[in-house]
């Protein structure tokens, strides 16, 4: 029984609680009325009304939060679809746009042959040098440790990054994440990129 209850969606559980509250109030009211206790019946109705109001308000609040989560997920999914349809160069410009949108200055798309791993550079809102490497990969093409090692060898020493980040439309392997943690490189996978683009998550320099 407990497992069944926990398996229900929060909104469904809230609806069940509302129905149970109404039923309990009606039972108590009927008992008070049949016993001739008018004052108790009125008190039962007042308390019951308050409980029903609270349960209904909770139900509405949970439903609103659920709808907000669904809308956020849909927005983030559309963002990723847009990026996956871009060329690598278009993706770099899209990341530059996000940097400008979120308050960076001196934003440049510098990715080209011989760029030593830097695709977008900027100044963060607090003045740090930001260096981004963009990996516009298919969702199944993960970014591995060799990619991170090449970037790690240049982002700080050659480009003078205060914040170094790799942003991809796919994901990172475990060795890549381990290397990035040791080097202080920030990783934005598909989910993090979608949240950044949709305005529901942090930027790489936050």
Q: Which residue has the higher pLDDT, 28 or 110?
A: 110
Q: How many domains does the chain have?
A: 2
CA dist., res. 103 & res. 87, Å (int): 25
DSSP state of 105: E
CA dist., res. 135 & res. 179, Å (int): 17
Q: In Å, how far from its chain's centre is CA 162? A: 25
DSSP of 48-68? HHHHHHHHHHHHHHHHHHHHH
Same domain, 26 and 56: yes
- Coil, strand or helix: which one is 136? coil
**Structural domain includes residue 110:** yes
Same domain, 138 and 78: no
pLDDT at residue 203, as a whole number: 97
Same domain, 53 and 98: no
pLDDT at residue 134, as a whole number: 96
Domain holding 168: CATH number? Answer: 3.40.1350.10
The residue ranges of DSSP E strands in the chain, in sequence order, are: 105-109, 120-123, 129-135, 163-168, 186-188
State percent of the chain over pLDDT 70: 63
Query: At which of 61, 83, 105 does a domain end?
Result: 83
CA dist., res. 103 & res. 176, Å (int): 29
**Structural domain includes residue 204:** no
**Structural domain includes residue 142:** yes
| pLDDT for residue 157 is more than 70 | yes
159-180: average pLDDT: 97
**Structural domain includes residue 127:** yes
pLDDT at residue 115, as a whole number: 74
pLDDT at residue 5, as a whole number: 40
Same domain, 11 and 24: yes
In this prediction, residue 117 has a pLDDT band, given cuts at 50, 70 and 90, of: confident
Angle in degrees, 0-180, between the axes of helices 38-84 and 88-101, rounded to the nearest 10: 130
pLDDT at residue 133, as a whole number: 97
Same domain, 91 and 79: no
| 86-114 tens-digit pLDDT | 999 999 999 999 999 999 999 999 977 77
CA dist., res. 119 & res. 124, Å (int): 16
Q: Which residues have CB under 8 Å from 184's CB, separation 6+?
A: 164
| pLDDT for residue 193 is more than 90 | yes
pLDDT at residue 67, as a whole number: 58
Same domain, 91 and 144: yes
Q: If phi over 0 gives left and psi between -120 and 50 gives alpha, with beta otherwise, what is residue 199?
A: left
**Structural domain includes residue 205:** no
pLDDT at residue 112, as a whole number: 79
Domain range for 177 is: 87-198
Same domain, 66 and 139: no
> Which range has the worst mean pLDDT, 40-54, 173-187, 189-203?
40-54
**Structural domain includes residue 103:** yes
**Structural domain includes residue 143:** yes
CA dist., res. 192 & res. 53, Å (int): 39
**Angle (CA) 198 201 203, round 5°:** 95
Same domain, 95 and 76: no
DSSP state of 127: S
| pLDDT for residue 29 is more than 60 | no
Query: At which of 67, 83, 99 does a domain end?
Result: 83
- Count Cβ atoms within 10 A of the Cβ of residue 91 and give its class: 0-12 exposed, 13-18 middle, 19 or more buried: buried
Mean pLDDT of all residues belonging to the chain:
81
pLDDT at residue 128, as a whole number: 97
In this prediction, residue 62 has a pLDDT band, given cuts at 50, 70 and 90, of: confident
């Amino acid at each position: 029984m407990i497992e069944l209850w926990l398996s229900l969606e929060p909104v469904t559980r809230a609806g069940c609680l509302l129905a149970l509250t109404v039923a309990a109030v009606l039972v108590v009211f009927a008992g008070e009325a049949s016993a001739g206790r008018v004052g108790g019946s009125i008190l039962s109705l007042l308390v019951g009304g308050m409980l029903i109001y609270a349960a209904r308000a909770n139900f509405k609040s949970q439903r609103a939060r659920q709808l907000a989560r669904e809308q956020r997920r849909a927005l983030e999914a559309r963002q990723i679809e847009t990026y996956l349809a871009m060329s690598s160069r278009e993706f770099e410009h899209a990341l530059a746009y996000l940097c400008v949108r979120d308050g960076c200055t001196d934003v440049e798309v510098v990715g080209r042959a011989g760029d030593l791993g830097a695709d977008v550079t900027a100044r963060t809102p607090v003045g740090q040098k930001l260096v981004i490497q963009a990996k516009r990969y298919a969702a199944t093409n993960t970014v591995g440790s060799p990619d991170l090692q090449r970037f790690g060898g240049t982002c700080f020493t050659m480009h003078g990054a205060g914040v170094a980040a790799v942003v991809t439309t796919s994901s990172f392997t475990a060795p890549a994440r381990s290397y990035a943690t040791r080097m202080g490189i920030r990783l934005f996978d598909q989910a993090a990129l979608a949240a950044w683009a949709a305005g529901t998550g942090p930027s790489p320099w936050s």
